[in-house]
Amino acid sequence: MALPSSLRAYPSLRLLWRVYKTTARALTPDLDRHEMALMHDAFLGGARSVLLMLDHELEHRGPASAAATIRRLNRQTMAIMAAKQRMQH
């Protein structure tokens, strides 16, 4: 899924949530309000954890280490997504 140009230029949790929610509704159209609220809480909890970890990395190890962590997490995420796609075919 391609990201909107506004998300690529300046990411925000609101825009990330909108993409996440749109994808979830497309994959599971019968989500009720309770499930959506639980999903939103999980999304925010995950986002907060990642931000806290990156803040700690920046403070204690510097920007190069934080950038390396971001690249590593991106590679892991892409590997997980590729494995799921292989399982679907």
> 2: which DSSP letter?
P
Supply 70's token pair: 């971001």
pLDDT digits (tens, 9 = 90+) for 64-85: 999 999 899 889 989 988 988 8
Residue 1 pLDDT exceeds 60: no
pLDDT in tens, 53-66: 999 999 999 999 99
Mean of pLDDT values over 38-43: 93
Q: Tell whether the model's pLDDT for residue 9 goes beyond 70.
A: no
Instruction: Summarize the chain as % helix, strand, coil (round to 5).
Output: 85, 0, 15
pLDDT at 43 over 60: yes
* Whether the Cβ atoms of residue 24 and residue 37 lie closer than 8 Å to each other: no
